[in-house]
Chain A
């Protein structure tokens, strides 16, 4: 059995969703780790959950990167440990410099709470290894600042390195303007770092892990982590 660490910031509100998905649905061990803790307690994988860490008053994720636990998360990531940032967790990874780019207000300035389609672009990450390339996932989004931005040269580098992991599409898996809910550059819904162990995405896979929730498409993302750890693809430990 593997062990997830779900970091809890003041203002996190999807921490228990992530806990539930990993423990009750997938049957793995999960520790909820308070942001002031300085120990990931031997976790095999770390999840930064959705919410509004520290209130997001200045910019989304801007304060969370200074939480004491983030030093450990940085260290874990630098050793190759798998880190998944979901929604606000993704925004925190961007502010912390663990992933490139930044988030702007949604193109239409509205907080978007709806299901979207994303296409798996790459499967050689610990969070997509159990999926197949081109697989279309129906996942919920709930954010006001999910309009991914990076300078064109950075986008070009992300594409060349195959670091775009999820792209917004229509139901058929085609990248279209209508399929891109928030105006993200290159329809980017999720990406990874150069070492491919840190992944961030705006949609919420943990809220789509059972059919009763309207979709179970998100389960493959956490299952990928379990499979990656089990097959020894990743050896880092917190």
Chain B
């Protein structure tokens, strides 16, 4: 079973990479892109076939390693 983990900077944290990408898009004429926030995306291939277990395991590794709770939050999706 596959878990997808999206790690993003908390709204209160300035994202210099996202800001630079937004500026680049503006210079390319995409004024309609008001802001960009860059994050990290992980695909975890898990041994379990039970969605609840998969989500719990993904959350555990996100808490322990993938995200730093001081600056980041995460969201998990489980592929059915």
Q: Which residues of A contact B (CB under 8 A)?
A: 58-59, 62-63, 94-95, 100-102, 104-109, 147, 149-151, 183
Contact = CB atoms under 8 A, between A and B. Distances in A.
A102 B68 contact: yes
B70 A102 contact: yes
Nearest to B64: A66
Q: Which among A59, A94, A108, A151 has the greatest number of chain B C-beta atoms within 10 A?
A: A59
28 contacts: A58-B65, A58-B66, A62-B65, A62-B68, A63-B65, A94-B70, A100-B70, A101-B70, A102-B68, A102-B70, A102-B71, A104-B14, A104-B16, A104-B71, A105-B16, A105-B17, A106-B16, A107-B16, A108-B16, A109-B16, A109-B17, A109-B20, A149-B13, A149-B14, A150-B70, A151-B12, A183-B14, A183-B16
Interface of B: 12-14, 16-17, 20, 65-66, 68, 70-71
Contact of B70 (A58, A109, A149, A183): A149
A109 B13 CA distance: 15
Given A58-B65, A109-B17, A149-B70, 14 more contacts: A62-B68, A94-B70, A101-B70, A104-B14, A104-B71, A105-B17, A106-B16, A108-B16, A109-B16, A109-B20, A147-B16, A149-B71, A150-B70, A183-B16
Contacts of A106: 16
Chain B contact residues: helix, strand, loop or mixed: loop
A214 B75 CA distance: 48
Contacts of A102: 68, 70-71
A151 B16 CA distance: 17
A105 B19 CA distance: 12
Contacts of A107: 16
Kindly list the 8 A-B residue pairs having the minimum CB-CB distance in the complex, ordered from nearest. Answer: A102-B70, A102-B71, A105-B16, A102-B68, A109-B16, A107-B16, A149-B71, A59-B68
Contacts of B68: 59, 62, 95, 102
